[in-house]
Chains A and B, each alone.
Chain A
Amino acid sequence: MIEIRIHGRGGQGNVVAAYLLATAAFEAGLYCQAFPAFGAERRGAPVVAFVRIGKQKILRRNEVKEPAFLIIQDPTLLHEKGLTTGLMKGGGILVNTKLTSGDISAAHGEEMIALPATGMAVEAVGRPVPNVALLSAFLSLTGIVPHTALRKALSGRFKGEVLDKNLNLVEMAAKAVDKGLWKEVAHAASA
């Protein structure tokens, strides 16, 4: 079973990101679980959501404390103490930032992969919502679920022009990271 923690701010589509990733896993024939850890429900407040993906039915319902992967929707959250706490040894961090992977890693003293997801979303969809681009990049990095499954998950949520724009965004973001870079980590986590 692979456990993922998604950090973002209220209004960035954090819960939607978790639901989309889990739905994509379902579309790929896997078991999934996604749930938010709601705090104060207001725009801009730090929010966390959890995703579990596995080959067998998932029974546990506790919060994800030792994720294999972190998806950070807002780079300013990296200044919060303990954000990366519990990340599995060798686990991956994907950050929405304009900086390069090298620069963001150097700035925080931890290996991270950067994706300018907000910019991509503005370009492709016209809205600064980074979640879909991050998910697409995440699937490229890990290979845990094919992009076709994410497309299916998106078509369950969006229609018409909005869907088409999001599918373009999936294409754009999928190519922006090293395909299969985290494949072994994902494999080890799911074993």
Chain B
Amino acid sequence: MRQALEGSQAIAQAVSRCRPGVVAAYPITPQTHIVENISKLVADGDLKTELVSVESEFSAASVVLGSACAGSRSYTASSSQGIMLMSEVLYNISGLRVPVVLTCANRAVGAPLSIWNDHQDSMAVRDSGWIQLYCVDNQEAVDTTIQAFRISEETEIPVMVCMDGFILTHTLEVVDIPDQALVDKYLPPFAFKRILDPKQPISIGTLVAPDFFAEVRHSQHQAMLKSEKAIIEADRDWKKLTRRGYGGLLSEKGPKDAKVGVMTLGSIGGTLAEALDTQPPRRKTKLINLRCFRPLPVAAIQKACEGLTDLIVAERAISPGLGGIVGNEIRAALAGMKKAPKVHNVAVGLGGRDVPLETLNDLVDWAKTAPDTSFSVFDAKLDKLPKEDR
């Protein structure tokens, strides 16, 4: 049903439609309203789930690891420092190949303390072995949440659904919450082979000596690479049911013969899409929205970049001392490609800095003339800094 809902409310509804057996979470801004709304659904009797109030994010992640191993569909959500505190357990969940879905309401990581949006939190756990899907709007966040359970349970890889804190979580907009019957048709009941069952006892999480650790990591990496197929199919099948799809791994918008590409993750894609419609740059430009960041869909990225002379990667995170995280990965992904575009890399919108419509034209102009296009914090006003810090 189409409703005007706050993003967090919509996510709570979507999670509820997936019939989770266990939800465990610890509140942190801007994820709080998701947990609040799930709690309300439980209190009102609209959702039958074991809602576990925990004392920290470390415990939240530990509870869902345990509950999934015990045979329950399990969900958690967090942000920023909360994701940091979970990080040890995130590695355990993925390394043990346990299906779990987590919403990351993306927020900057302190210090300096900031409650506002960027992607530093999910980027900080990019190597934790979780699939990461980034959402442009709240409808996509709802649909991706439902897809995520299916992907996770099919691949036995946990999925992190990344939605921009405040910009999506606290935005009320029109969202279609799919009917229960439709979700039931799409998402089969939770089935996980390696559950803890006293009739067939197994151990989970035992010590792995050097004679097998490398093989475990190899197989985990292979499974991640192969999960591209499950991600594409989950989106394709969802589109068949709802007419809503998101291009699977990535989506493109703009002229096919564009020479300039602008690649982004998350809600910036919406603002730039409107800019492309209403104030298109003079140089033919297309947008590439990277929906799936882990696994990094190298073939799809190369294909999307065919014909481009310049690619601008505008991301909401930074690796101090290196520059862009996504940008450098894209440079690596394009290495060896015939006629690979020149990659220009910037961070924008860090710590909630507003990203206006003009950003699209500003980026395209900058890429043409900037003396050093390796990396910059694009919207930093350097005159605010003492000379020696510029």
Report which A residues bind B (CB closer than 8 A).
Answer: 15, 18-19, 22-23, 25-27, 31-36, 38, 57-63, 65, 153
Contact = CB atoms under 8 A, between A and B. Distances in A.
7 contacts: A26-B174, A31-B173, A34-B171, A38-B115, A38-B166, A61-B270, A62-B357
B170 A61 contact: no
A61 B137 CA distance: 9
A60 B357 contact: yes
Nearest to B138: A33
Interface residues of B, number: 24
A177 B271 CA distance: 36
Across the A-B interface, give the 10 residue pairs with the lowest CB-CB distance, nearest first.
Answer: A26-B4, A59-B274, A35-B171, A60-B274, A23-B4, A59-B270, A34-B172, A62-B356, A63-B354, A19-B172
Nearest to B268: A61
Residue from A18, A25, A31, A62 whose CB has the most chain B CB atoms within 10 Å: A62
B175 to A, nearest CB: 10
B355 A62 contact: yes
B4 A32 contact: yes
Contact of A62 (B4, B271, B273): B271
Most buried by A among B173, B355, B357: B173
Contact of A35 (B115, B167, B357): B167
Interface SS majority for chain B: mixed
Contacts of A23: 4, 172
Contacts of B6: 19
Interface of B: 3-4, 6, 115, 137, 166-167, 170-174, 267-268, 270-271, 273-275, 277, 354-357
Given A60-B357, A62-B355, A36 B166 contact: yes
Most buried by B among A15, A36, A59: A59
Contacts of A32: 4, 172-174
Contacts of B275: 60
A33 B356 contact: no
Which of A25, A31, A35 is packed against the most chain B CB atoms within 10 Å? A35
A169 B233 CA distance: 52
B287 to A, nearest CB: 11
Given A31-B174, A34-B172, 9 more contacts: A15-B170, A26-B174, A31-B173, A32-B172, A32-B173, A32-B174, A34-B173, A61-B171, A62-B357
A62 B164 CA distance: 13
A33 B3 CA distance: 12
A136 to B, nearest CB: 18
Contact of B271 (A38, A57, A61): A61
A35 B355 contact: no
B172 A62 contact: no
A35 B166 contact: yes
Contact of B173 (A15, A58, A153): A58
A153 B172 CA distance: 13
Nearest to A65: B356
Contacts of B270: 59-61
Given A22-B4, A38-B115, A63-B354, A33 B271 contact: no
A33 B357 contact: no
A112 to B, nearest CB: 26
A19 B357 CA distance: 23
Contacts of A59: 137, 270-271, 273-274, 277
Contact of A22 (B115, B172, B268): B172
Nearest to B3: A26
Nearest to A24: B4
Contacts of B167: 35, 61
A139 B384 CA distance: 42
Given A32-B4, A36-B166, A60 B171 contact: no
Contacts of A25: 4
Contacts of A61: 167, 171, 267-268, 270-271, 355
